[in-house]
């Protein structure tokens, strides 16, 4: 049985929120930085571990606040080194988080909702229905938990207040997790405020210190929220396009009926307008046999994206039970790629990772206790 705590969970507080909290309890702003570092850089899960915080304040914090993360209930490791964690939330729901190791980086794929309301036909998560948005604490906790699981040195020691030992864990040259992608369960822009606060922590120097180019938000195209995102935290962007025209996209990405391709691409151009540092965004295009993979579709996509600052990821469809689609043949994918390449685009065929543990793109399912809900919360 789960009992909901009345204590404030500081795990999801960004610096501004943390400063406001300490101000409310009559403490100096520098306490916010201290506690932020202990939680996110040193992996502290107990205020008693914060040895450079006064004992009086530690006691007070333990009475009114907590550092609470989801529990890992299952871990699977694929033959290619990909790791998938099933994390249990309050209320009986679970989410999935995936770590993808590569030679020069380690990428964590993070969920933003329990299930998903968008109902894209080629996505296993969509078949789970939608239950609720994740809190900022539950989003950032996936990075916090994965960091501890992958690097035990990140664990705080109540006897060691010297940050030199722990600092090695967060040093950019020694990080196990170098990149975060919000490409897990859910549509991030339908959980706007919580996602943004979690991203602030990812970018915060006193927390994880990731650069904007190493945090990528993937969206199916919630246009109003995409426009807001530019003002809040202009991280890297991936657009789940998957079709060269509205006729096809209406069928496989229902959100397109509300925000058609023309509006979506205009919002993408606005996102990058006036900024010379962000060179391009990523177009994600899942390859579905007989649906969107013809040579005509490739040429149409090339025209659609003309003058757009983008690169294109072609994603082999990952089948799942009850799916109505099949993956395009590899020779079809390569022909599609060649047409786009000759049109001047940077095109990559995404390598399928973690397929043997259902951790590949579109396969995350988690456990949604109440699958009846179908409306996400837009711009909240």
DSSP three-state, residue 376: coil
Domain topology for 71-357: TIM Barrel (3.20.20)
Question: Residue 277's pLDDT band (boundaries 50, 70, 90)?
Answer: low
DSSP assignment string, 347-368: EEEPPP-SGGGT-STT----B-
* Spatial separation of the C-alpha atoms in residues 295 and 299, rounded to whole Å: 6
Q: Please say if the pLDDT value at position 4 is more than 90.
A: no
The neighbour count for residue 305, using CB atoms within 10 Å, is 21
For 241, residues 6+ apart whose C-beta sits below 8 A from its C-beta are 249, 261, 264, 283, 284, 285
For 331, residues 6+ apart whose C-beta sits below 8 A from its C-beta are none
pLDDT, one tens digit per residue, over 297-307 is 999 999 999 99
Q: Is 378 a residue of the active site?
A: no
Overall average pLDDT of the 195-209 stretch: 98
DSSP assignment string, 160-218: ---HHHHHHHHSTTT-S--EEEE-SSS-GGGGHHHHHHHHHHHH-TTTT---GGGEEEE
Radius of gyration (C-alpha) of the chain in whole angstroms: 21
From-to residues of CATH 1.10.150.530 in the chain: 8-66
Name the active-site residue from 27, 66, 96, 284. Answer: 96
Q: Is 361 a residue of the active site?
A: yes
pLDDT, one tens digit per residue, over 131-179 is 999 999 999 999 999 999 998 654 544 344 444 344 444 555 567 999 9
Between CA 253 and CA 261, with CA 258 as vertex, the angle to 5 degrees is: 65
Name the active-site residue from 116, 123, 327, 361. Answer: 361
pLDDT, one tens digit per residue, over 233-275 is 989 999 999 999 999 999 999 999 999 999 999 999 999 887 6
* Tokens (6 digits) for 340: 């786009």
- Give the right CATH number for 8-66 from 3.40.50.620, 2.40.50.100, 1.20.59.10, 1.10.150.530: 1.10.150.530
From-to residues of CATH 3.20.20.70 in the chain: 71-357
Residue with tokens 């036909």: 121
Lowest pLDDT segment from 63-77, 79-93, 266-280, 350-364: 350-364
Between CA 81 and CA 145, with CA 37 as vertex, the angle to 5 degrees is: 30
Bridge partners, residue 95, by sequence: 87
Phi (first) and psi of residue 327, to 5 degrees? -75, 140
Strand-by-strand arrangement of the 106-109 sheet: 71-77, 83-88, 94-101, 106-109, 179-182, 215-219, 236-240, 281-287, 310-316, 347-349
* Spatial separation of the C-alpha atoms in residues 105 and 128, rounded to whole Å: 31
Overall average pLDDT of the 37-59 stretch: 96
pLDDT of residue 1: 39
pLDDT of residue 356: 55
pLDDT of residue 275: 66
DSSP three-state, residue 296: helix
pLDDT of residue 60: 97
Q: Please say if the pLDDT value at position 379 is more than 70.
A: no
């Amino acid at each position: 049985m789960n009992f909901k705590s009345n204590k404030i969970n500081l795990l999801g507080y960004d610096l501004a929120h943390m400063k406001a909290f300490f101000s409310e309890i009559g403490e100096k702003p520098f306490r916010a930085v201290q506690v932020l570092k202990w939680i996110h850089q040193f992996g502290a899960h107990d205020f008693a571990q914060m040895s450079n915080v006064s004992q009086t304040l530690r006691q007070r914090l333990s009475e009114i606040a907590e550092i609470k993360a989801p529990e890992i209930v299952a871990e699977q490791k694929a033959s290619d080194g990909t790791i998938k964690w099933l994390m249990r939330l309050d209320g009986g729901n679970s989410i999935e988080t995936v770590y993808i190791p590569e030679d020069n980086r380690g990428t964590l794929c993070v969920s933003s909702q329990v299930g998903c309301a968008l109902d894209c036909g080629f996505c296993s998560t969509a078949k789970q229905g939608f239950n609720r948005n994740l809190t900022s604490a539950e989003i950032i906790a996936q990075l916090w938990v994965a960091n501890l699981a992958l690097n035990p040195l990140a664990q705080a020691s109540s006897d060691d207040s010297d940050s030199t030992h722990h600092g090695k864990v967060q040093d950019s040259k020694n990080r196990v997790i170098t990149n975060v992608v919000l490409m897990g369960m859910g549509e991030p822009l339908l959980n706007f405020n919580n996602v943004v606060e979690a991203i602030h922590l990812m970018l915060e120097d006193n927390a994880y210190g990731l650069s904007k180019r190493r945090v990528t938000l993937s969206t199916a195209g919630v246009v109003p929220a995409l426009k807001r995102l530019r003002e809040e935290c202009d991280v890297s962007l991936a657009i789940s396009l998957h079709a060269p025209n509205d006729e096809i996209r209406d069928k496989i990405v229902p959100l397109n009926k509300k925000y058609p391709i023309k509006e979506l691409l205009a919002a993408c151009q606005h996102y990058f307008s006036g900024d010379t540092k962000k060179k391009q965004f990523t177009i994600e295009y899942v390859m579905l046999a007989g649906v969107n993979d013809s040579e005509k579709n490739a040429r149409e996509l090339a025209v659609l994206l003309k003058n757009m600052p983008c690169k294109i990821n072609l994603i082999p469809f990952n089948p799942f039970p009850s799916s109505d689609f099949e993956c395009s043949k590899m020779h079809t994918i390569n022909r599609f790629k060649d047409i786009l390449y000759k049109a001047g685009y940077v095109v990559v065929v995404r390598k399928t990772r973690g397929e043997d543990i259902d951790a590949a793109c579109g396969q995350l399912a988690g456990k949604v206790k109440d699958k009846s809900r179908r409306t996400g919360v837009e711009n909240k």
